[in-house]
Amino acid sequence: MKLYGYFRSSAAYRVRIALNLKGIAYDTAPIHLVKDGGHNRKPEFRAVNPQMRVPALALSGGDVLIQSLAIIEYLDEVYPEPPLLPADAIERAKVRALSQIIACDIHPLDNVAPLRYLKNTLKHDQTEIDAWYHHWVIEGFDALEAMIEPAPYLCGAKVTLADLCLVPQVFNARRLKVPLECYPKIVAADAACLKLPAFDKARPENQPDAE
């Protein structure tokens, strides 16, 4: 397998954790999202993923999978141990809901593409862009904090898809200086996850393209 990603990409970070938890070996193909206007926009990567976003996971049979949650669920189906979704349908829906609060509500609004659009096209200054970023993280984290009871992970004693989404989002929140004092349960779940080797190995600073 080959994972096209960027060391700071939250979505690629999620997939790295999943691959590590499953014990799957993979090659890394770094795609810098900032240099030269974004290497993801070059024709050679567009041929890999027409959406021009990371991650993309190239399988040994030639198929290329995109979208982090779809990739992770594929990995969970093909490599079922350890499972990242509960067997119970209600619990599975709860895990997916927490995951989607992060991956579908917070992350898309704070991704590189919209932030670049705010700056370059709409001409917002950095203070306004930072306020935008903080607003959407805080709104999402307020909901998460009210919904979870870490034990020690977001959904109990076992790591789930929700944890794979949480840890990268907390990393970026810290990097962009979002105050986390109001979110002790989120901080506790994040700390529990980062004690695991699969999460530690996936940290942005541990990637070959880290700057």
Q: In terms of C-beta distances under 8 Å and separation of at least 24 residues, what long-range contacts does 114-122 make, across chains too?
A: none
Quick one: which of 43, 74, 36, 52 has its CA closest to 4?
A: 52
Q: How confident is the model at residue 72 (pLDDT cuts 50, 70, 90)?
A: very high
Read off the pLDDT of residues 75-130 as tens digits, 9 standing for 90 and up.
999 999 999 999 999 999 999 999 999 999 999 998 888 998 999 999 999 999 99
**pLDDT value for 156:** 95
Read off the pLDDT of residues 8-33 as tens digits, 9 standing for 90 and up.
999 999 999 999 999 999 999 999 99
Taken in order 102, 108, 111, 115, is the CA torsion positive or negative? negative
Mind spelling out the 3-state secondary structure of the chain?
A: CEEEECCCCHHHHHHHHHHHHHCCCCEEEECCCCHHHCHHHCHHHHCCCCCCCCCEEECCCCCEEECHHHHHHHHHHHCCCCCCCCCCHHHHHHHHHHHHHHHHHHHHHHCHHHHHHHHHCCCCCHHHHHHHHHHHHHHHHHHHHHHCCCCCECCECCCCHHHHHHHHHHHHHHHCCCCCCCCHHHHHHHHHHHCCHHHHHHCHHHCCCCC
Torsion angles phi and psi, residue 181, rounded to 5:
-60, -25
| Residue 60: both structure tokens together | 């040994």
Report all structural domains of the chain as residue ranges with CATH numbers, in order of start: 2-82 (3.40.30.10), 89-198 (1.20.1050.10)
Read off the pLDDT of residues 35-64 as tens digits, 9 standing for 90 and up.
998 999 999 999 999 999 999 999 999 999
The neighbouring-strand residues paired with 65 are 57
Cα radius of gyration (the chain) = 17
What pTM, to 2 d.p., does this model score? Answer: 0.95
**130-to-136, 166, 179 alpha-carbon distances in Å:** 10, 20, 12
